[in-house]
């Protein structure tokens, strides 16, 4: 592999996948060289500009926050990923590693597999029963999960801020509805009440107390009488409903 070819292909705007295809390399091998051969990383950096201008994926964002030890192990797992004897090699690689290392690698695999836990377990050669044991018995594993979630939130928040800076109307509205909801941008109305609220069910209120116009009371009484007449004869002739109790036989509307 000539560094000049890597530089020229990257300068033409080709992605890592396209460069590896052009050079006849597997994507995993090219990725391994990119991370472990400074000259390859330098050629790509010079062709594409400074790191700050490169598009960073969520997977790369989290990978950079792995310790050097974990990055080395992960690179080796990726190298053997598509090999026919890859599972055996990964099992041999991680066999003597403590749970702490396996847990961290599993969580990283979870991210790279779009949170597909079955694929992540297969990647790092960890059984489902082991995962359940970690969840039930290891508080440190829960802490690592929280840390991954923390970095995930930071990444998404940084992307939201970038969109707002670029003038995205949708991102600006969303940010204000969520981050500035305490300033009145939320669509929901929150009512704070102090004191007691008494609710009485089944209270009879006369029509007179409602102070309805006479014509309105006549309409209500007429509708209730029609409803009462529609009840079969074998049914009780009284309507035990709060609405009917609103009327009194002595009401002027009768």
pLDDT in tens, 161-200: 888 888 888 888 888 888 888 887 777 656 565 656 555 5
Using the 8-state DSSP alphabet, how is residue 196 labeled? -
Token representation of residue 130:
């082991």
Tell me: pLDDT of 27 over 60.
Answer: yes
Using DSSP, how many helices (H) and how many strands (E) does the chain show? 15, 0
| pLDDT value of residue 50 | 45
Q: Is the pLDDT of residue 38 over 70?
A: yes
Give me the pLDDT at residue 133, please.
Answer: 93
Residue 117's pLDDT is 85
- Which among 5-14, 18-27, 132-141 has the top mean pLDDT? 132-141
**Average pLDDT of 9-18?**
79
Q: Does the structure show a pLDDT above 90 at 25?
A: no
Spell out a b/e string for 135-174, using b for 16 or more CB atoms within 10 Å of the CB, else e: eeeeeebeebeeebeeeeeebeeeebeeebeeeeeebeee
CA distance 173 to 187: 11
The residue behind tokens 């940010």 is 175
Six-digit token pair at 65? 């926050």
Taking residues 58-85, report their average pLDDT: 80
């Amino acid at each position: 592999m000539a560094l000049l070819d890597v530089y020229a292909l990257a300068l033409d705007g080709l992605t890592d996948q396209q460069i590896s295809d052009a050079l006849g390399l597997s994507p995993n091998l090219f990725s391994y060289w990119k991370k472990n051969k400074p000259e390859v990383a330098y050629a790509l950096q010079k062709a594409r500009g400074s790191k700050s201008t490169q598009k960073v994926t969520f997977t790369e964002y989290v990978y950079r926050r792995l310790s050097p030890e974990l990055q080395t192990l992960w690179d080796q797992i990726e190298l053997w990923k598509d090999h026919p004897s890859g599972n055996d090699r990964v099992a041999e690689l991680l066999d003597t590693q403590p749970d702490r290392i396996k847990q961290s690698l599993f969580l990283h695999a979870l991210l790279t597999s779009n949170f597909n836990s079955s694929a992540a377990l297969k990647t790092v050669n960890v059984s489902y029963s082991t995962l359940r044991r970690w969840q039930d018995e290891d508080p440190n594993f829960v802490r690592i999960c929280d840390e991954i979630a923390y970095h995930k939130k930071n990444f998404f928040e940084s992307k939201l801020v970038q969109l707002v800076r670029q003038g995205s109307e949708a991102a600006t509205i969303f940010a204000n509805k969520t981050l500035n909801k305490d300033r009145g941008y939320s669509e929901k109305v929150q009512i704070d009440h102090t004191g007691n609220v008494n609710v009485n069910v089944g209270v009879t209120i006369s029509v007179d107390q409602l102070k309805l116009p006479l014509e309105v009371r006549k309409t209500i009484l007429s509708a209730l009488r029609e409803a009462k007449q529609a009840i079969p004869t074998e049914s009780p002739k009284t309507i035990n409903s709060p609405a009917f109790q609103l009327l009194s036989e002595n009401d002027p509307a009768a």
